Structure 1
Amino acid sequence: MASKVWSTFTAKKSNGSEVKLRIQDMPADKFEEVLIFLEDYYINNNVFYKIVGFSKNPEAVKESLDIMRQMLQGSPHSIVVCCEDKGDAVGEIVGVTVTSVITNKENLDDFLNLNFKTKEVAEIFAIYGELLKLYDVFKGKNIDRFADDRGLAVSIDYGVEVLKELLNVRRKLCKELNTPLSVIWALSNDVQRAAEAAGWETAFEVSREEVGKKTGVKITEEPVTYKIMIGKSL
């Protein structure tokens, strides 16, 4: 069965060349390639992974990927890839977005109180645990379910244009997932700009200094504020 194609478009690479791209559901045989891509462009570029020194400990990277593999294989997720459009073939993957539906019946502690092998992974989960306490999407938007972010990454050869298209597809996915909206913590200027361009709205905003106080880490990288952004169903 052919993977569903969500979008086709042309984008410029960092070298100025134009490439025809398409966004489609991930073919099953691309799963491991997607995990490697997320390691290269999500884990290695995420501000909090950098702060805790993730890349300096190969065991932490391995544990994080193992957790991600188990998570994606163990419960329903929507994994969408942006790739070079090669007709029937899936060309080079240049972007990935992963979403999962969560409901107000789920217990946040089940997600946070896992047994971790490395201190870096434990620190990452603790940081995100503090972020999740800052704003209750269910109460704030009066909903009982939404499509939550499980990973968003784009190759260094591309930028905001591809991020925008992936976030636009996330809004389209809401109808298929039977959710009123999609949610993401926008932790970089590029993601914030792309989300705004794709019609997402800011539901909550907090300074990096406040996040630093809550999490006990020193943050010096841009942006100066982090945002919870909402993409309504298309």
Structure 2
Amino acid sequence: MAPKVWTTFTAKKSNGSDVKLRIQDMPPERLEEVLNFFDDYYNQNNAFYKLLGVSKNPKAVQESIEGMRQMFKAAPTKIVICCMDNGDAKPEIVGATAAGVTTSKDNIDDFMNFNIKTKEVTELYALFFELMKLYDVFKGKNVDRYSDERGLAVSKDYGVAVLKELLNVRRKLCKELNVPLSAFWAMSTDQQNAAEADGWETAFEVTRDEVAKKLGVTITEDPATYRLVVGTAL
């Protein structure tokens, strides 16, 4: 059976050319490719990833990829890819997002039920978990379950337009995942602009300096604030 196509659209590459794209369910056999894509464009561009120098340790890089794989297994997860709409049997992937489900009964430690060995990844998850504690989606939005982010990335040849389409599909996925809304921490200017363009609400915002002080680290990379954004189901 052919993967479900959620939307088709045209976007501009960084060189100015127009390209036809589609967002579809990820074929299972492309999982490893998607994991590597996330590492190239999601992990490597994350402020915490850079801060801790994860990319400088090959073992830490592999462990961070394994961490994503474990997250995909820990709870219901839906992965969609944005790819060329050119008739190829295996079209080039230019974007991807993974939407998981978190409930009020979940224990966050269950999502990382594998033996972490590297110092970098241990500290990486510690920072992420501290960030997640800053805003309680369950209480703030009066829900007992929601779709969280397990990955959101776009190739450097594209930008906000493709991110916006992926976020729009994330909202559509809510019905399939049986949740009322989707939420994630927008930690880049492109993510924040895409969320705003697709009508996501900023439920909580904190300055980069406040986060750095709370975590006992120094963060100098933009944006100046991080936003917990919420998109209602479509």
1:160 matched residue in structure 2:
160
Q: Residue 20 of structure 1: CA displacement?
A: 0.2
1:174 matched residue in structure 2:
174
Aligned amino acid, residue 69 of structure 2: R
Q: Residue 87 of structure 1: CA displacement?
A: 2.8
Q: Would you say how many aligned residue pairs link Structure 1 and Structure 2? A: 234
Aligned amino acid, residue 213 of structure 1: K
Partner secondary structure for residue 165 of structure 1:
helix
- d(CA) in 1 for partners of 2:30, 2:110: 29
- d(CA) in 1 for partners of 2:73, 2:224: 35
Note if contact 1:116-1:122 (Cα within 8 Å) is conserved in structure 2.
yes
1:21 matched residue in structure 2:
21
Aligned amino acid, residue 116 of structure 2: F
Partner secondary structure for residue 99 of structure 1:
strand
Residues 8-64 of structure 1: CA deviation (Å, up to 9, x unaligned): 000000000110000000011111110110111011111110000011000000111
- d(CA) in 2 for partners of 1:184, 1:59: 27
1:60 matched residue in structure 2:
60
Note if contact 1:112-1:126 (Cα within 8 Å) is conserved in structure 2.
no
Q: Residue 226 of structure 1: CA displacement?
A: 0.3
Partner secondary structure for residue 30 of structure 1:
helix
Note if contact 2:160-2:190 (Cα within 8 Å) is conserved in structure 1.
yes
- d(CA) in 2 for partners of 1:212, 1:59: 26
1:12 and 2:8 correspond: no
Aligned amino acid, residue 117 of structure 2: K
1:146 matched residue in structure 2:
146
The TM-score with structure 2 as length reference comes to 0.96
2:36 matched residue in structure 1:
36
The 3 A distance-change label for structure 1 pair 88 and 156 is closer
The 5 A counterparts of 1:22-171 are 22-73=22-73, 75-87=75-87, 89-111=89-111, 115-171=115-171
- d(CA) in 2 for partners of 1:226, 1:166: 20
Note if contact 1:181-1:233 (Cα within 8 Å) is conserved in structure 2.
yes
Partner secondary structure for residue 98 of structure 2:
strand
1:215 matched residue in structure 2:
215
- d(CA) in 1 for partners of 2:230, 2:107: 21
Residues 69-100 of structure 1: CA deviation (Å, up to 9, x unaligned): 23324542100000000236241100010010
Structure 1 vs Structure 2 CA RMSD: 1.4
Q: Which moved more, 1:82-91 or 1:158-167?
A: 82-91
Percentage identity across aligned positions?
67
- d(CA) in 2 for partners of 1:123, 1:89: 40
The 3 A distance-change label for structure 1 pair 111 and 91 is closer
Q: Residue 164 of structure 1: CA displacement?
A: 0.3
- d(CA) in 1 for partners of 2:212, 2:78: 31
- d(CA) in 1 for partners of 2:37, 2:13: 17
